[in-house]
Structure 1
Amino acid sequence: MRLGGDVQERSVVASGAGAEDAKPIRPLLPDFWCAAVALLATCLPLTQVGWLAQIDVIPKGLPIVLMVVIAVLGFALCIAGRHASMRARRLLYRTSVGILVAVLCCFVSSARFIAASFRVANVTVSSCRLDPVEDPKIGASSISTICNVRRVDGAVLGKVLVQTDDVLDPGRLYQVAGSLEPLDDSSWHRYLYMKGCVAIVTTHAVISSSPKPANPVRMVRTWLLDAISPSSSPSRALIAGVICGRTTELSQTQAQTAFSLTGLTHLVAVSGSHLAYIAMLIESLLLALGCPVRTRSVVVACIMGAYVVFTGCAASAMRSFLMVGCSSLTLAVRRRPHALSGLALSCMLLCAFNPKSAWDLGFQLSVASVLFLNLFCTYVAWTIERAGAPRMVSQQLSMTLTAQWATLPLTVPVFGSISIVSLAANLVVGPLMTALLAAGLVLVPISALAPLRAVAMIPLDGLANASIFFADALSKIPFATIMADGAAPYLPLLYLVALAVYALWPVIPRLGTVIAFMLAGVAFTCHVIFWSYFVPPSITVMDVGQGDSIIIREGSSSLLVDAGVDEAALEALVRNNVVALDGVVITHWDKDHWGGLPAILQRIPVRRLFVAKGAVDAMPKDIDASSFEDIVELGLGDSIAIGSFTCDVVWPQEDVSGEENGDSTCLVVTYDHGGRSLRCLLTGDTELDQERAYQRDVGNIDVLKLGHHGSGLSVDGDLLKAIDPEVSIASAGRGNSYGHPSQECVDCVRGYGSQFYCTIDYGDVCIEPLQGAVKIRCSRNL
């Protein structure tokens, strides 16, 4: 349907009702979505089967057989449509098109991946050039960068993940000495497979580097990043993340922790929903100025295109641009605007180009949030407003609630937590971040001109600092984040509720809305009381990356053993509902065991610090000794009582400096109360030489926290026979350069018959004592 001139869609209200009481019209979900859903539903299993074939879990030829079967199903639907009604025929035809396109694209993608794997596997690393294609990710033990592997003549052989000690400049080509490792069956390597990586390169040395050929997009982005200077302050790091999509520097600041704890990371990431909101603001402004339809569409497209350039044409930015651009295009060609049709089209284009993107969490979150915002945002705002909330509050609150509704079933299985303060955080920080993005798109290019830099950056610094301030303040609220079972069966119900609401489009009584919010408040109060005074006895090996951090707690008592390498330990404590610590044991002074303590001390009160005898003198200067009521040195035979837990020191057996792995304080944690029992050995970074020395003092245990992150020397058959653990747990970081946990360790533990868990795959691993058994809960499940 074509529109004449600047005709706008008219508001439709119920007959005889005022505009303020009229129920919003249910948005039309176009038939085109049948093709998009069919394509997505086909790409997901086919790419997963391709991964299983890649790691030899299933025969190599099975994906081809499955593709043929699904293609036959697509043709069968097409034939069945010839004998159906016009409406059913249209739906069946669109569904069959989506299926057949997906099969074809998955076949091409698989063939390209196999060819790239073969090419990369048959070259030496030092004979090629590594071309960084994404910003580096700084981890605890290494820096990871996705790179194209190029021959000397410039031909691309394939994509790999490169692990280095130094940051790789995206504007240079590198020749390195390193080792090439194929993908294994871990969840981390599955993630890399879905990103298109065929192998992992661990570098030993950089031989040489040279600048890449001139690229206008990269030059513009480098020019803007130089003007922003993201390493100069947290506010500049935030500006770089919002405007240029570079979060390398932001991830090293406490601002990132605050955004994570308050559920605001989506405001930093390049998201379709955020970009759509900016496009809406720009279009509203142009409409108020009287600009015609085509002019508005062209201006919005240019601004969105500039943003894509600012991010270096990052995949997430291109995805967001497509989602917004497809909707704006309908206006430019004078067609009736329909955002849902544009979203469906962009989904099909993205998955057709790269079927594995269907598994990308960023893609899933963007699609889900934009879909729900278009379907339910107006309805939710109307419902809240009918309950008495002001229009401005109801609109902002509806966007947050709708986005949470769409994304919780996707994020909880990955992160294992829900931010309770995210609603308030989005209401307060959301407008600031939106203003930062809108202003930054204009002011950052101006700031790239040296004479105007100081003036242009003033408002951006103000908005960024205000965003960080409020996010930091909200993150300090007790119980800001709660732990959620990643396998919770109720999560899919949120989507079933969405289907029911869309089908029925009910009018929810004002009283019902008020009661719902009151019940939520009561539930939160009960949650706070429970986690403050009635915590069941448990030992949780928390997922803090390449480091150790274990929380022992019962009732209102809690003891932390080690604090990880960075702010991840604080995030882990918050999501496990820990708001105060009776004490912290630092096993030794390696940074992956104490590095997160300064951040913890800024937000969580800690009464005592426990270290090995003789280790106080080597305490790092970053740890403020005045933060503790007391610093206690532990020796052989000493004990710490936490609730009904007893933590007995079995190592070291003499005074130590605390600077070596072998100096680690090792604890046997025992629980024996009310018929329930548990014995757990916490080994720090000790390995076989030390473990054999203290194994007699340990006796039989239920749970072994493997020494030194599950290194090859952390355990052997003789040690396992001596202590007889039913469960063995390794704490290690995804993609660490040490190869922890080693395959030798994993095979030894499983060969003995002990259940093996690693935080890389299972997230937080919680052990609870039962009568004659132990209960294991994980924040993620394979």
Structure 2
Amino acid sequence: MKPAICFPARPYISPICAAALSMVMCSGFMMQLAWKSYLAQQVFPISAAGLFAGLSLSACLGLYIVRLRTAFCASAYPYLVWIGIGLCIASLSCALWMYRQTSALHWLDSTTHKSYQLETKGDPQIHEYGATQTATLIDSSGFSIGTVHLKTPQALEAGVCMQTSVVPQRFDDSPWSQNRFMQGEFAEVSLRVVPSQELTLKQDALTNFRQVILRMLQADKGEAEALLAGVICGRTTELHGTDVKQCFSDCGLSHLIAISGGHLIVCISLVEHLLLCLHIPLRPRLTMLIGFMSIYVVFSGMAPSAIRALLMMSSSMVVRSYGRRPHQISGLAFAVMVLLAIQPGLVFDLGFQLSALSVLGLSIFGPYLRHHLKQLHMSTGLTEALSATLIAMLMTAPLTIPLSNSFSIIAPLANVVVGPLITLVLTIGFIAAPLAYAIPFVLTPVLYLARTAIFFAQLLASFPFAQMNATLEWWGVALWYCAIGMTYVLWDALRLRHIVVLVSLSACLGVSFCIYWRYLAPPMVGILQIGQGDSILIRDHDQAILVDAGVDDKAAQALARQHVTHLDAVVITHWDKDHWGGLPKILQTVSVDMLYVARGATAHTPLPIRWAWRHHIAELIRGDKLSIGSFKAEVIWPISKTDGEENASSVCMVVSYTHEKNRLRVLLTGDTELEQELKYAQSVGDIDVLKIGHHGSKVSTSKELLDILTPELAVASAGKHNRYGHPSQKCQNACREARVLFMCTKDVGDVQLYPSPSGVVVQTQFE
């Protein structure tokens, strides 16, 4: 007889979890209403939130009365009561938050803004055009109005105070603005000049100590030092935008840098070992550990994931001190409730979402997956590391895939290899960093470990297809989490063979999906929404080319939306960064056969492209033709050799499709403007669609040009709220006068053009 398989017990979901879930849903709904009211400059629905809190409390009391007088379902009763409690707390929290924001906005709309004080909070983020961080706005009487998003030409440390009279501006309707609003900021302040002679510094002892440690670490000296500052102190200012951070992100290692439960465990393990050596009794020892964790969380910048870990571990220690066994899922629910009660906008914070979902998955499915992995005869250490990584990936993928349009294939291996190294960096770094002031060389072994971790992260990130393009619609997210829920419901009814069959079926569906889009994709010209840049996809069945690659990673994300895994060629029209900047990322995620530029432009190839593309670069000039299935792309500009540096030297093409009764003609103009367009327009003839040049600038098109080309549709590619004002009103007026339908990617998203007997069928991303 085979021995019976002993499954781990299914974890208990306590009633407080229902309260946490109800708070998440209520906070999300209320905060979304607040954001819409902010954009419309209407009164926040404070009274509605207060009324809902009263109704929730009344419902709880009603349930209590019903429980006393009837044989109410005993199992459902505590969950319903806790749901009511959660709704009541969330409503009151949102009402209080909206009241504070209302006061701040009243000051913004009514004051003359003669002068006020700004006090910076937290670490700055350095960007190409300056630095940003949160700041507290204090009026002339010393009263704190609220928090704003501060933009400065140079980075400022936390605690810097300054006087200014710059008028704060309301946020626009972009996703970034919504994120800042949810974090409690009510406006943004942009300072072109920081008056250094008027700056004062207001820092407490802990902040001063942190600054001393950061000076010892010399975060701005190199990548290893920046990684140490991030791992030990929670400061990612110097790490932001570096190749190291990108590699960690591509390998699914970002959580190793973010301060969370793993950091606190290492931290208190060292302290607890010391306290045990001193024979400190249990309760005083746990009290000291909670105090030490609290100090470290404040020291590291109070990230939501760190506060969540602190609340969970503190509640667990309190329970232990009374001789009870802690319940991790209830601890997580308690932490979520406290955090949302303090800052309800955290429900929209991606870091908070990923942290909570990862811990929830590990708490519920950790023993379950380890049980199945042990049946594969894996070692205990490998089982622990692999199960933690796989569960975190499965729980968070439905959130990360729609945002990044990619999925890290290398993440399980990367976490097994790099994870232990970062743990060593953290353990030794906690001891070495405070000693570095007296003994500088004590950091040498830690820096060596950090460089080793960086080496392996970069090595793994460089593997072909370490990160794959992927996309997930809302229904896919729903199905994903339904499958996770069903796994919990079925639990011991699922055997390893069932899981293997389900995974195999899912893999078959995924392969079929990939085969369809790789070899059977319908003919289409897609003008992609990639912000302030250009990127046009031309595909027909198994062939595809990309004309321009945008300015950053958004082009790779757009290709994922279009399910592109292979490109026969990429054409870079000219060497403006908003046309080639995204190519290195594309080359990491998509296989590319050829790279084309204008005749003579190869000699001026930017250095990042030289590093990313080590193969031959072909050149194009007027008269050259490319075939993409039944599409023919004929180069009509430039007419002579060029360096590819100027807008006027952009590669321009007429893309034609003729197959059976279907047809389509599209003119791609790069960044050429009227002076060049009028020169080649006569040779182009009638077209169906004009891709407007130079993002719809004032000199991008005219009624005269449109009358020559007679397009039915004109499309401009531009980013929302771009600083150039693209597309210009002059461009739009010209289209209106010529009776040409005008679209811009910032308004409608991706514009997909399909051949048809009538010439063109248009589909947009946001239709």
Q: 2:310 aligns with which of 311, 318, 321?
A: 321
> How far apart, in 2, do the equivalents of 1:573 and 1:468 lie?
28
Contact 1:33-1:344 within 8 A present in 2 as well: yes
Q: 2:487 aligns with which of 496, 501, 513?
A: 501
Q: 1:105 aligns with which of 79, 83, 93?
A: 93
| Correspondence 1:400 to 2:389 | yes
Q: 1:446 aligns with which of 425, 435, 448?
A: 435
| Correspondence 1:135 to 2:118 | no
**1:423 alignment partner, SS class:** helix
Q: 1:233 aligns with which of 218, 222, 236?
A: 222
**1:147 alignment partner, SS class:** strand
The residue type equivalent to 1:475 in the other structure is A
Specify the alignment match of 1:160 in structure 2.
148
> How far apart, in 2, do the equivalents of 1:718 and 1:71 lie?
65
| Pairwise CA distance, 1:38 | 1.9
> How far apart, in 1, do the equivalents of 2:102 and 2:728 lie?
27
State the Cα deviation string for residues 717-752 of structure 1 (Å, max 9, x = none): 8877866465735353x8865566779989999997
> How far apart, in 2, do the equivalents of 1:515 and 1:755 lie?
47
The residue type equivalent to 1:386 in the other structure is Q
Specify the alignment match of 2:442 in structure 1.
455
> How far apart, in 1, do the equivalents of 2:704 and 2:249 lie?
43
Specify the alignment match of 1:170 in structure 2.
158
Specify the alignment match of 1:360 in structure 2.
349
The residue type equivalent to 2:441 in the other structure is A
Alignment RMSD, CA only?
4.3
> How far apart, in 1, do the equivalents of 2:625 and 2:165 lie?
49
Q: Mapping of 1:79-98 within 5 angstroms? A: 79-84=62-67, 85=72, 87-98=75-86
> How far apart, in 2, do the equivalents of 1:624 and 1:500 lie?
49
| Pairwise CA distance, 1:46 | 0.7
| Correspondence 1:592 to 2:578 | yes
> How far apart, in 2, do the equivalents of 1:688 and 1:259 lie?
45
> How far apart, in 2, do the equivalents of 1:437 and 1:315 lie?
20
**2:66 alignment partner, SS class:** coil
Specify the alignment match of 2:211 in structure 1.
222
The residue type equivalent to 1:39 in the other structure is M
Contact 1:177-1:205 within 8 A present in 2 as well: no
Q: 1:116 aligns with which of 80, 104, 111?
A: 104
Q: 1:40 aligns with which of 21, 24, 41?
A: 24
Normalised TM-score (structure 2): 0.84
The residue type equivalent to 2:61 in the other structure is C
Normalised TM-score (structure 1): 0.82
Contact 1:387-1:513 within 8 A present in 2 as well: no
> How far apart, in 1, do the equivalents of 2:199 and 2:377 lie?
63
> How far apart, in 1, do the equivalents of 2:662 and 2:319 lie?
66
The residue type equivalent to 1:418 in the other structure is F
**2:416 alignment partner, SS class:** helix
> How far apart, in 2, do the equivalents of 1:322 and 1:31 lie?
18
Specify the alignment match of 2:189 in structure 1.
201
| Correspondence 1:667 to 2:656 | no
The residue type equivalent to 2:475 in the other structure is P
**2:357 alignment partner, SS class:** helix
The residue type equivalent to 1:498 in the other structure is I
Residues 713 and 285 (structure 1), Cα distance of their counterparts in 2 relative to 1, 3 Å cut: farther
State the Cα deviation string for residues 219-274 of structure 1 (Å, max 9, x = none): 222222222222322222222222222223223322222222222223222345x4
| Pairwise CA distance, 1:108 | 1.2
Specify the alignment match of 2:463 in structure 1.
477
| Pairwise CA distance, 1:706 | 5.3
Specify the alignment match of 1:6 in structure 2.
none
The residue type equivalent to 2:147 in the other structure is K
| Pairwise CA distance, 1:124 | 7.0
Q: 1:261 aligns with which of 237, 250, 271?
A: 250
The residue type equivalent to 1:361 in the other structure is L
| Correspondence 1:78 to 2:64 | no
Q: 2:715 aligns with which of 721, 728, 740?
A: 728
Specify the alignment match of 2:11 in structure 1.
27
> How far apart, in 2, do the equivalents of 1:693 and 1:170 lie?
56
Specify the alignment match of 1:413 in structure 2.
402
Larger deviation, residues 438-447 vs 740-749: 740-749
Larger deviation, residues 504-513 vs 25-34: 504-513
Between the two structures, name the one with larger relative contact order (CA 8 Å, sep ≥ 6): 1
Residues 757 and 172 (structure 1), Cα distance of their counterparts in 2 relative to 1, 3 Å cut: same
Specify the alignment match of 1:8 in structure 2.
none
Contact 1:482-1:576 within 8 A present in 2 as well: no
Q: Mapping of 1:237-248 within 5 angstroms? A: 237-248=226-237
Contact 1:482-1:577 within 8 A present in 2 as well: no
Q: Mapping of 1:368-383 within 5 angstroms? A: 368-383=357-372
**2:169 alignment partner, SS class:** strand
| Pairwise CA distance, 1:767 | 3.5
Residues 76 and 525 (structure 1), Cα distance of their counterparts in 2 relative to 1, 3 Å cut: closer
| Pairwise CA distance, 1:352 | 1.0
5+ residue gaps, structure 2, are: none
> How far apart, in 1, do the equivalents of 2:275 and 2:56 lie?
47
Identity of aligned residues (%): 35
> How far apart, in 1, do the equivalents of 2:165 and 2:546 lie?
41
**Matched residues, number:** 754
Larger deviation, residues 706-715 vs 433-442: 706-715
| Pairwise CA distance, 1:757 | 3.0
Specify the alignment match of 2:34 in structure 1.
50
> How far apart, in 2, do the equivalents of 1:286 and 1:638 lie?
75
Larger deviation, residues 478-487 vs 168-177: 168-177
> How far apart, in 2, do the equivalents of 1:604 and 1:646 lie?
23
Contact 1:82-1:89 within 8 A present in 2 as well: no
> How far apart, in 2, do the equivalents of 1:143 and 1:278 lie?
32
Residues 651 and 125 (structure 1), Cα distance of their counterparts in 2 relative to 1, 3 Å cut: farther
| Correspondence 1:562 to 2:548 | yes
Larger deviation, residues 231-240 vs 635-644: 635-644
| Pairwise CA distance, 1:610 | 3.5
Specify the alignment match of 1:385 in structure 2.
374
Residues 88 and 529 (structure 1), Cα distance of their counterparts in 2 relative to 1, 3 Å cut: closer
Contact 1:71-1:99 within 8 A present in 2 as well: no
> How far apart, in 2, do the equivalents of 1:340 and 1:710 lie?
54
Contact 1:148-1:156 within 8 A present in 2 as well: yes
Specify the alignment match of 1:648 in structure 2.
634
Contact 1:144-1:163 within 8 A present in 2 as well: yes
State the Cα deviation string for residues 638-677 of structure 1 (Å, max 9, x = none): 4333444433334456665543444433334344446665
Larger deviation, residues 41-50 vs 341-350: 341-350
> How far apart, in 1, do the equivalents of 2:113 and 2:722 lie?
19
Specify the alignment match of 2:453 in structure 1.
467
> How far apart, in 2, do the equivalents of 1:187 and 1:743 lie?
24
> How far apart, in 1, do the equivalents of 2:656 and 2:265 lie?
54
Specify the alignment match of 1:5 in structure 2.
none
> How far apart, in 2, do the equivalents of 1:626 and 1:42 lie?
47
Contact 1:597-1:623 within 8 A present in 2 as well: yes
Residues 755 and 575 (structure 1), Cα distance of their counterparts in 2 relative to 1, 3 Å cut: closer
The residue type equivalent to 1:194 in the other structure is M
Q: 1:331 aligns with which of 320, 324, 345?
A: 320
Contact 1:221-1:312 within 8 A present in 2 as well: no
> How far apart, in 1, do the equivalents of 2:19 and 2:309 lie?
20
State the Cα deviation string for residues 30-83 of structure 1 (Å, max 9, x = none): 2122222222221110110111111129x6465644652564254234313311
Larger deviation, residues 293-302 vs 371-380: 293-302
Specify the alignment match of 1:13 in structure 2.
none
Residues 471 and 570 (structure 1), Cα distance of their counterparts in 2 relative to 1, 3 Å cut: farther
Residues 193 and 154 (structure 1), Cα distance of their counterparts in 2 relative to 1, 3 Å cut: same
Contact 1:483-1:576 within 8 A present in 2 as well: no
